[in-house]
């Protein structure tokens, strides 16, 4: 129930906003099927291509809100996007089913008003019918289908809005929350500054040497490795690629064919619906009479206006928008293959309807010249062939490795460059800075003839370990500063415990005057929950404590606080009355989150999911 959860966390009207903003920004209408693909049902409600498209964009928008606008759903692992989209569809259909069961309705006029107010469909602030039609139809969606989806989305949002407005938390409950949140505390405390304490410790050289001898494992250098390497890139093979004599001509012919196949064709139609007649034969006869009159005493557009039984497209002279070969029914697409702009088809029969279509417009890219395209064809060929040659060499090396060849023997047999790197630790390895390469190399744990292959888009690395130099204890003069620092820190951790225990006993002694420069004694009054006077974890502990009880807590930076809450002050009634309006949204959100759990459980129990053919 992601959609419901999103709404209840404050993003109202999210779905209808995405729908109005054209749900085709990230995926074309043909990226997952056509408007005539069957995606099954949820609770008996049919799932259309538009439903899938809306769900894709809702999920994408939500992911980009979370991870940033640069997030690309193509980076998701296989199946994840499919599951997210499926859940979104189920969520929306389950909510729609619920509102329909409650006999709630939304008017077509309201849907049209929402559409007309959407800036995407406006020119100079006014609704532009042509822009609306072109945008909707260019994406394979009929206006009546789009309007129906707006109606459904509006209905769902009205339902959720009604739920949100049913929040009836009484003022006394809200005032209790405000008293808790706006509570203030007076605090007496000691603060032990860990770094100051550590820096005040001055070990002798004798102490340091003793500590060094007792903790040698703390002062060892890193393991070092050297590697046997063969490295070759795709560039090595580019000069080996030959361009066949007939290649450019063949590629240019294919290029022109692709342009023709990607052309968008626009049509208008006259439709007769069989259900409006006593039989299919009678409906066909009615269409035949229309066909006879078109071109003799009626124009196509006049026939649409007088006889077409598709009321939405009839208002637009029968216009159905554009298709690049997969948005219209296959019967329409087939007929268009034999038509030119301006031609009329014969009578086309679909399952429940008869149609005459008119080929009204064609959008086709203008091809580049052969000279311009030949450079691109050549570059693409060299790129593809050199990459294939690189992979062939990789495969040949892999076969040799499996038969027991070492890296240096492979280099000799295949006349490849071979190198042995200088022994270095992970951090000091300079040949590559890329962590992926370094992790690959230093993940090999023993010297042997066994080698591994790391493959990139344009480079292959073949490697084995040549030598491993185990860590050794570093001489004292190389780690002197590290030894003294470690000794100070170790001693500070011991000293701070004794100091902490003493201060726990003295915090309530008003006559005590501390003389330790590493300790701060202070008192703060009227400390609020959002105060920056204390570290966050210390502040949380303070607001969880009772008056008069001494406690201690270590901050994230190792400072230690010994504190005593001396007074808890709640806000006065006049202050609460002054700020209560600022807490209304907070109150609504907390109440709605609780309400969300109840609604989600109730609606989820009624879901019957029969979605199919969803392969994004």
Summarised one tens digit per residue, pLDDT across range 183-200 is 999 999 999 999 999 999
| Mean pLDDT to the nearest integer, 16-31 | 41
Find the range with the poorest average confidence among 37-41, 218-222, 542-546. Answer: 37-41
pLDDT bracket for residue 133 (50, 70, 90)? confident
| Mean pLDDT to the nearest integer, 550-573 | 93
164 CB-side CA count, 13 A? 21
pLDDT, tens digit, 9 for 90 and up, residues 596-611? 666 666 666 667 777 7
Percentage of residues in the chain having pLDDT higher than 90:
48
pLDDT beyond 70 at 511: no
pLDDT, tens digit, 9 for 90 and up, residues 314-332? 888 999 888 878 788 999 9
Higher pLDDT, 106 or 596: 106
The predicted structure's pLDDT at residue 226: 95
pLDDT bracket for residue 15 (50, 70, 90)? very low
| Mean pLDDT to the nearest integer, 362-373 | 87
Higher pLDDT, 37 or 311: 311
The predicted structure's pLDDT at residue 606: 67
pLDDT bracket for residue 24 (50, 70, 90)? very low
pLDDT, tens digit, 9 for 90 and up, residues 68-82? 777 787 777 778 888
Find the range with the poorest average confidence among 125-134, 373-382, 489-498, 584-593. Answer: 584-593
Handedness of CA 28, 262, 148, 317 (dihedral sign): positive
The predicted structure's pLDDT at residue 495: 93
CB distance 467 to 173 below 8 Å: no
Q: Tell me the two tokens of residue 218.
A: 């703390």
Measured in degrees and rounded to the nearest 5, phi and psi for residue 294 equal -65, 125
Q: Tell me the two tokens of residue 169.
A: 């938390």
The predicted structure's pLDDT at residue 62: 84
| Mean pLDDT to the nearest integer, 546-555 | 93
The predicted structure's pLDDT at residue 12: 36
| Mean pLDDT to the nearest integer, 94-107 | 81
Enumerate residues 6+ apart whose C-beta is below 8 A from 236: 386, 390
Enumerate residues 6+ apart whose C-beta is below 8 A from 323: 140, 264, 265, 266, 267, 332, 333
How does DSSP classify residue 83?
A: H
Q: Report how far residue 587's alpha carbon sits from residue 339's, in angstroms, rounded to the nearest whole number.
A: 64
Handedness of CA 427, 430, 436, 439 (dihedral sign): negative
pTM for the predicted model, two decimal places: 0.48
Higher pLDDT, 446 or 279: 279
Q: Report how far residue 543's alpha carbon sits from residue 302's, in angstroms, rounded to the nearest whole number.
A: 79
Q: How far is CA 235 from CA 265, 374, 384, 458, 585, in A?
A: 43, 21, 12, 8, 61
CB distance 332 to 357 below 8 Å: yes
| Helix-helix angle 300-307:280-293, to 10 degrees | 140
CB distance 152 to 117 below 8 Å: no
Find the range with the poorest average confidence among 119-128, 248-257, 319-328, 558-567. Answer: 119-128
Q: Report how far residue 388's alpha carbon sits from residue 410's, in angstroms, rounded to the nearest whole number.
A: 20
Find the range with the poorest average confidence among 40-44, 138-142, 186-190. Answer: 138-142
Find the range with the poorest average confidence among 101-115, 364-378, 541-555. Answer: 101-115
Q: Tell me the two tokens of residue 552.
A: 């201690």
Percentage of residues in the chain having pLDDT higher than 70:
87
Q: Report how far residue 603's alpha carbon sits from residue 592's, in angstroms, rounded to the nearest whole number.
A: 16
CB distance 507 to 551 below 8 Å: no
The predicted structure's pLDDT at residue 597: 64
Q: How far is CA 1 from the centre of its chain?
A: 18
Closest C-alpha among 583, 598, 601, 590 to residue 178: 583
CB distance 542 to 526 below 8 Å: no
pLDDT bracket for residue 100 (50, 70, 90)? confident
| Mean pLDDT to the nearest integer, 364-376 | 88
Average pLDDT, the chain: 84
Q: Other CB atoms closer than 10 Å to residue 228's CB: what's the count?
A: 22
pLDDT, tens digit, 9 for 90 and up, residues 408-453? 999 999 999 999 999 999 999 999 999 999 999 999 887 777 889 9
| β-pair partners for 563 | 189, 551
pLDDT, tens digit, 9 for 90 and up, residues 228-247? 999 999 999 999 999 998 99
């Amino acid at each position: 129930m992601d959609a419901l959860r999103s709404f209840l966390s404050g993003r109202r009207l999210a779905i209808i906003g995405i729908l109005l903003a054209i749900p085709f920004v990230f995926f074309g209408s043909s990226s997952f099927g056509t408007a005539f693909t069957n995606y099954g049902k949820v609770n008996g409600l049919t799932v259309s291509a538009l439903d899938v498209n809306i769900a894709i964009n809702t999920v994408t928008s939500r992911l980009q809100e979370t991870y940033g606008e640069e997030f690309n759903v193509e980076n998701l692992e296989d199946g994840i996007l499919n599951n997210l989209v499926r859940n979104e569809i189920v969520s929306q259909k389950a909510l729609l089913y619920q509102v329909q069961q409650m006999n709630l309705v939304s008017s077509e006029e309201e849907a049209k008003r929402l559409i007309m107010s959407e800036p995407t469909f406006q020119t100079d602030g006014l609704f532009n019918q042509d822009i609306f039609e072109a945008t909707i139809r260019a994406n394979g969606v009929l206006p009546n289908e789009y309007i129906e989806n707006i109606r459904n989305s509006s209905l769902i949002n009205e339902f959720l809005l009604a739920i949100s407005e049913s929040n009836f938390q009484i003022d006394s409950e809200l005032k209790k929350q405000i008293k808790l949140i706006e509570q203030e505390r007076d605090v007496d405390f000691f603060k032990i500054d860990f770094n100051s304490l550590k820096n005040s410790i001055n070990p002798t050289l004798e102490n340091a040497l003793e500590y060094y001898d007792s903790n040698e494992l703390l002062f060892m250098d890193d393991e070092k490795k050297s590697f046997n390497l063969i490295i070759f890139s795709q560039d090595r093979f580019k000069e080996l690629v030959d361009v066949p004599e007939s290649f450019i001509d063949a590629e240019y012919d294919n290029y022109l064919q692709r342009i023709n196949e990607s052309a968008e064709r626009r049509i208008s139609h006259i439709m007769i619906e069989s259900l409006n007649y006593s039989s299919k034969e009678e409906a066909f006869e009615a269409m035949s009479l229309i066909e006879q009159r078109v071109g003799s005493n009626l124009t196509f557009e006049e026939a649409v206006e007088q006889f077409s039984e598709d009321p939405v497209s009839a208002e637009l002279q029968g216009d159905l928008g554009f298709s690049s070969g997969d948005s219209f029914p296959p019967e329409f697409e087939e007929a268009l293959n034999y038509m030119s702009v301006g031609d009329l088809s014969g009578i086309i029969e679909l399952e429940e309807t008869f149609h005459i279509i008119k080929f009204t417009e064609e959008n086709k890219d203008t091809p580049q010249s052969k000279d311009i395209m030949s450079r691109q064809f050549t570059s693409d060929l060299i790129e593809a062939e050199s990459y294939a040659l690189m992979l062939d060499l990789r495969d040949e090396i892999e076969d040799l490795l499996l038969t027991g060849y070492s890296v240096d023997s492979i280099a000799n047999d295949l006349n490849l460059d071979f190198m042995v790197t200088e022994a270095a630790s992970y951090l000091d390895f300079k040949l590559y800075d890329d962590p992926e390469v370094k992790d690959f190399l230093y993940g090999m744990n023993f010297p042997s003839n066994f080698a591994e292959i790391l493959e990139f888009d344009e480079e292959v690395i073949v490697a084995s370990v040549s030598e491993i130099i185990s860590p050794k204890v570093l001489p004292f003069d190389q780690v002197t500063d590290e030894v003294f620092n470690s000794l100070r820190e170790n001693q500070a951790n011991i000293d701070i415990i004794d100091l902490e225990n003493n201060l726990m006993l003295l915090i309530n002694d008003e006559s005590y005057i501390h003389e330790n420069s590493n300790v701060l004694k202070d008192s703060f009054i009227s400390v609020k929950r959002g105060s920056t006077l204390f570290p966050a974890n210390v502040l949380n502990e303070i607001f969880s404590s009772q008056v008069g009880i001494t406690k201690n807590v270590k901050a994230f930076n190792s400072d230690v606080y010994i504190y005593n809450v001396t007074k808890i002050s709640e806000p006065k009634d006049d202050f609460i009355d002054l700020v209560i309006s600022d807490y209304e949204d907070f109150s609504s959100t907390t109440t709605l989150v609780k309400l969300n759990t109840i609604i989600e459980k109730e609606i989820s129990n009624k879901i019957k999911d029969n979605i199919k053919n969803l392969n994004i």
